[in-house]
Amino acid sequence: MAVRDQVITPEYALYRADCMEVMADMQDASLDLSIYSPPFAGLYVYSSSERDLSNAINGEEFWQHYKFIVKEIFRLTKPGRMSAVHCTDIPTGNSGLDRIVDFPGQTIRLHEDEGFDFVARYHVWKEPLTIRNRTMSKSLSHKNLTIDSTKCSMANADQLLIFRRKGTNAVPVEHLHGLLEYAGETPVPHDLLSYRNWQGNQIENKFSQWVWRHYASAFWDDIRLDRVLPHRQAKEDEDEKHCHPLQLDVIERGVTLWSNPGEVILTPFMGVGSETYGATRLGRKAIGIELKESYYRQALLNMESVEKPRIENRTDLFSEVS
């Protein structure tokens, strides 16, 4: 297949290709962070391509193929650095009597088998009625509650799983003046704004401490669920059953916590470019790889709208792939 299309700038490199083929040409320990959503096998079909992980014959085949992805990401990740995987539990149906597949648990075991340490799990709250209306799940129906609540379930939270490659991190991720922004719906108390970018003793930095308490919580309950990139025009009727970009708040929190400005962020399943957009907006250098042409085209449009920050000491990091 090789690379069918690519756009390379000083701030980002986007490839339309199978991510395994692009990653194979990348150098060992060249990534500071990866952040992405893997295809949820059995829940969505993203494209008709036989290379698409969501088209695996069954769960066993999916995990066999996903193992190769994780192995490559481990190779590419610098020692002591992180990989953030966005996923969720997967219902096997919507009748109210269906079991749930522990996709996050299997993802954790796979990463541990490949040498990562599992270090954190964040939960992103979802509004039950919104999920009910989108999925038509009977298990979230109030009518079902009134008839037999043993057939009811919950609106599964999204999860952001954090893995660290074993080894010593050579370059600390520093926040010398604390956290400078808050990605979330909750308003920052007005009396704390004067502490933003505090130059003195960080024990006194009330703004950053307030932000950190929210970020350090295992439950992110104020993510702006509608703060996503344009994506509807990327749908294709003949093979598309899902297009739901990751919220920019989640991405910006991850990029801020686990990378420095100017560092390299990989998204092997780019979709419409949410992770590459968020990384570039925060002054990182993004690599995005996408198999599906309509997603790739939309990602190009989305990346063109990024307010590109000035990155000092830029180098010719990205090169064309044949």
Closest Cα partner for 243 from 288, 292, 305?
A: 292
- Give pLDDT < 70 ranges for the chain: 1, 41-57, 96, 231-244, 308-322
Q: What is the pLDDT of residue 236?
A: 53
pLDDT tens figures, 220-254 = 999 999 999 976 554 555 444 445 689 999 999 99
Amino acid at residue number 13: A
Q: What is the pLDDT of residue 167?
A: 96
Q: Is 310 inside a domain boundary?
A: no
Cα–Cα distance list, 272 to 214, 241, 242, 262 (Å): 28, 15, 12, 22
Q: Is 31 inside a domain boundary?
A: yes
Q: Is 314 inside a domain boundary?
A: no
Q: Is 312 inside a domain boundary?
A: no
Q: Is 123 inside a domain boundary?
A: yes
Q: What is the pLDDT of residue 1?
A: 54
Q: What is the pLDDT of residue 53?
A: 65
Q: Is 63 inside a domain boundary?
A: yes
pLDDT tens figures, 102-121 = 999 999 999 999 999 999 99
CB 177 within 8 A of CB 198: yes
Q: Is 90 inside a domain boundary?
A: yes
Q: Is 153 inside a domain boundary?
A: yes
Domain ranges, residue 195: 5-304
Q: What is the pLDDT of residue 311?
A: 43
Would the CA dihedral through 234, 106, 53, 84 be positive or negative?
positive
Domain count, the chain: 1
- CA pair distance 53, 291, nearest whole angstrom: 10
Q: What is the CATH number of the domain that holds 265?
A: 3.40.50.150
Q: What is the pLDDT of residue 316?
A: 40
Cα–Cα distance list, 314 to 27, 65, 229, 285 (Å): 18, 35, 27, 10
